Amino acid sequence: MEANKPKLIVDGKRLDGRDFDELRPIKIEAGVLKNADGSAYLEWGKNKVFAAVYGPREALPKHTADPERAVIKCRYAMAPFSSLEEHGRSGPNRRAIEISKVTKEVFENVIMGENFPGTEISIFIEVVQSDGGTRAAGITAAAVALATSGIPMRDLPFAVSAGKIGDHVVIDLNKIEDNYSDADVPIAISPRTGEILLLQMDGSLTREEFKEAVAKVKKAGQVISKIQREALKAPYEKISNKYK
């Protein structure tokens, strides 16, 4: 495997021509699905992700309800045609269940669920096309979808992955970098407080590299947060600007 490892950095640039801390282009559209209470569509490089939110609604089955707060449920799924590799088969697999769980925990920290005891809030993340970093893309899209549903939240979290290629700490790994890098660290952050809501790691980093990775994620997050906020405001501002 090591022998087949492609060269991920050529002339100080990554394979797709990006700098070490450059994000892929991100585009978010809010409120794209009429049937859902909240929704968003996100394109992040070659990733294409839909997020839909339903609720607060009656928690079913009933034993899952919490009399003190809304329960958050999350389902992350990749479409069978989303990836070139076999892990994109349909239905919940080990990986999808894990991502659903960590995503749920991100949003349990920001949704003000105490306002809706006994109900559930369901978040659906559907990856239509994948190119690495889909859990980060899913969380970023779901945050926008939640905001369009009107559910009160303490913050609009974002997520992005950091990684290590050779001696360099890089940001936002794509599929091929993810497969052959020395470390892949998806991080979700609440930008208002800087709290880390999700932190996973494949591979290994030194203490210094880890600190650098978190700092780079926070810096990239300012860009992602801005795109999220603009996606939410854009449809309304378009109309208000017409009458200025």
Number of residues lying near another protein (CB under 8 A):
33
x-or-dash string of contact with another protein, 4-43, rule CB under 8 A: ---------------------------------xx-----
Q: Which of 6, 80, 92, 152 binds another protein (CB under 8 A)?
A: 152
Q: What's the CA angle centered on 44, arms 23 and 93, to 5 degrees?
A: 120
Residue 199: HSE in the Cβ half-sphere, 13 Å Cα cutoff: 11
Q: Which is nearer to another protein, 84 or 239 (CB)?
A: 239
The torsion of the CA quartet 79, 82, 87, 92, rounded to 10 degrees, works out to -10
Q: CA 60 → CA 73, 107, 112, 121, 128, distances in Å? A: 11, 19, 20, 11, 27
Q: Provide, rounded to whole angstroms, the least separation between the CB of residue 33 and another protein.
A: 13
- Closer CB to another protein, 44 or 158, in the complex: 158
Mode of pairing for the β-strands spanning 47-58 and 26-30: unpaired
Please say which residue, 113 or 163, places its beta carbon nearer to another protein: 113
For the segment 117-146, give every residue that binds another protein (CB under 8 A).
118-119, 146
Contacts with another protein, residue ranges (CB under 8 A): 37-38, 55-58, 110, 112, 118-119, 146-156, 190-192, 228-229, 232-233, 236-237, 239-240, 243
